[in-house]
């Protein structure tokens, strides 16, 4: 099955555009992931370095409602999915989805300083997840893919129409001209008007078309000239052959006649006697 030039170009352009768009989208999503992951890790470190102090104060004063309020506020940070406070291996408070086994966990001791002494009140477990980042990047990738698909479809249709008008149709016309070339015919086909109009815009395909038409006309002129030369040569050869034939016959006649008497000479006599002898031998053989 033959593919048209426009189809081949569109397929290659679409494949190349899709590949480049996918690579560019992948690079962009990679940097977006690094940024979002950095924000999540920054939030976790911020909890570990700043927010542990008020949590420790709430635990020291046995203010569970304040601790719950603080944990709930910390869960609003991007990527923080689970928070828990353990005391001696026992979970006293926990908020969020799942458990620490489902996320990337950071454990931070909750220390409270009173009268110059450090009191370990428990351990704050921070569960950070990248699921939201993955989902956002997936949604973004699907959106970019759909957008690029629509763009590629529009570009492909435009390229098909453009190639069909500027390339395919002129090439089909050239193919038709080449198939119709008849060097035996007369010079009936004329060069395209683009050759004669100096102000008209001539593209490469039009120049090729004009060149092919000029070549066809030149071939016809050369063929007609060659045909005329051949006919003249055949005529001269025929005349020369006839002259040679007549000269040979005349030479043979002169070779059998004596130039002084105009009578047959000895050669004519020998030729005649050989013919008579041959006829006699054939007659005696038949009898």
Q: How many domains does the chain have?
A: 2
- 95-100: long-range contacts (C-beta < 8 A, 24 or more apart)? 95/68, 95/71, 96/127, 98/127, 99/127, 100/125, 100/127
What is the gyration radius of the CA atoms in the chain, in angstroms? 53
Write the CA distances from 220 to 174, 182, 190, integer angstroms: 18, 8, 13
Looking at residue 1, what is its pLDDT?
A: 42
Asked if 201 and 123 sit in the same domain, the reply is no
Q: Considering the domain boundaries, does residue 54 fall inside one?
A: yes
Domain boundary pick from 98, 131, 146: 146
Domain boundary pick from 119, 146, 173: 146
Asked if 192 and 139 sit in the same domain, the reply is no
Q: Considering the domain boundaries, does residue 271 fall inside one?
A: no
Range of the domain at 192: 181-238
Asked if 68 and 188 sit in the same domain, the reply is no
Q: Considering the domain boundaries, does residue 164 fall inside one?
A: no
Q: What is the pLDDT along the chain (287 residues), one digit of tens a residue?
A: 455 666 777 788 778 888 888 888 888 888 988 888 888 888 888 888 888 888 888 888 888 888 888 888 888 888 888 888 888 878 888 888 765 455 778 888 988 888 888 888 888 888 888 887 888 888 888 888 888 878 877 887 887 788 777 777 777 777 777 777 666 655 445 444 444 444 445 566 677 777 777 887 888 888 888 888 999 999 999 999 998 998 888 887 777 787 777 777 777 777 778 888 788 877 777 66
Asked if 142 and 194 sit in the same domain, the reply is no
Helix (H, G, I), strand (E, B) or coil at 91: strand
Q: Considering the domain boundaries, does residue 172 fall inside one?
A: no
Q: What is the pLDDT of residues 8-20, one digit of tens each?
A: 777 887 788 888 8
Looking at residue 287, what is its pLDDT?
A: 61
Q: What is the pLDDT of residues 187-219, one digit of tens each?
A: 445 444 444 444 445 566 677 777 777 887 888
Tokens, residue 207: 């120049």
Asked if 79 and 202 sit in the same domain, the reply is no
Cα(47)–Cα(52) distance, integer angstroms: 6
Q: Considering the domain boundaries, does residue 30 fall inside one?
A: yes
Phi-psi region of 181 (alpha: psi -120 to 50; beta: other; left: phi over 0): beta
Q: Considering the domain boundaries, does residue 38 fall inside one?
A: yes
Cα(50)–Cα(95) distance, integer angstroms: 19
Asked if 187 and 137 sit in the same domain, the reply is no
Asked if 10 and 83 sit in the same domain, the reply is yes
Q: What is the pTM of this model?
A: 0.49
Q: Considering the domain boundaries, does residue 101 fall inside one?
A: yes
Asked if 15 and 129 sit in the same domain, the reply is yes
Asked if 89 and 193 sit in the same domain, the reply is no
Asked if 81 and 210 sit in the same domain, the reply is no
CATH assignment at residue 139: 3.30.450
Asked if 119 and 221 sit in the same domain, the reply is no
Helix axes 169-179, 204-255, angle to 10 degrees: 10
The helix/strand count (H/E) of the chain reads as 7, 4
Q: Considering the domain boundaries, does residue 31 fall inside one?
A: yes
Cα(60)–Cα(277) distance, integer angstroms: 160
Asked if 140 and 185 sit in the same domain, the reply is no
């Amino acid at each position: 099955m033959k593919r048209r030039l426009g189809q081949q170009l569109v397929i290659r352009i679409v494949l190349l555009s899709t590949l480049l768009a996918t690579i560019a989208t992948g690079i962009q999503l990679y940097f977006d992931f690094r940024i979002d992951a950095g924000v999540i890790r920054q939030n976790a470190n911020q909890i570990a370095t700043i927010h542990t102090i008020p949590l420790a104060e709430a635990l020291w004063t046995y203010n569970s409602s304040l601790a719950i309020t603080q944990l709930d506020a910390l869960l609003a940070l991007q990527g923080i999915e689970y928070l828990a406070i353990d005391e001696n291996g026992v979970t006293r408070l926990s908020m969020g989805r799942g458990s620490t086994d489902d996320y990337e966990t950071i454990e931070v001791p909750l220390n409270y300083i009173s009268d110059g002494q450090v009191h370990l009140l428990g351990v704050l477990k921070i569960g950070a997840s990248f699921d939201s980042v993955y989902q956002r990047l997936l949604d973004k990738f699907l959106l970019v893919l759909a957008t690029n698909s629509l763009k590629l479809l529009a570009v492909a249709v435009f390229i098909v129409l453009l190639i069909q008008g500027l390339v395919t149709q002129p090439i089909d016309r050239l193919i038709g001209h080449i198939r119709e070339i008849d060097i035996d015919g007369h010079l009936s086909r004329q060069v395209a008007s683009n050759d004669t109009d100096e102000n008209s815009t001539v593209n490469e395909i039009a120049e090729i078309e004009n060149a092919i038409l000029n070549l066809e006309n030149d071939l016809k002129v050369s063929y007609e000239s060659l045909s005329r030369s051949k006919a003249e040569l055949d005529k001269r050869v025929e005349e020369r052959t006839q002259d040679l034939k007549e000269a040979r016959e005349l030479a043979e006649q002169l070779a059998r006649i004596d130039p002084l008497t105009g009578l047959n000479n000895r050669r004519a006599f020998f030729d005649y006697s050989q013919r008579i002898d041959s006829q006699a031998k054939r007659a005696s053989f038949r009898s």
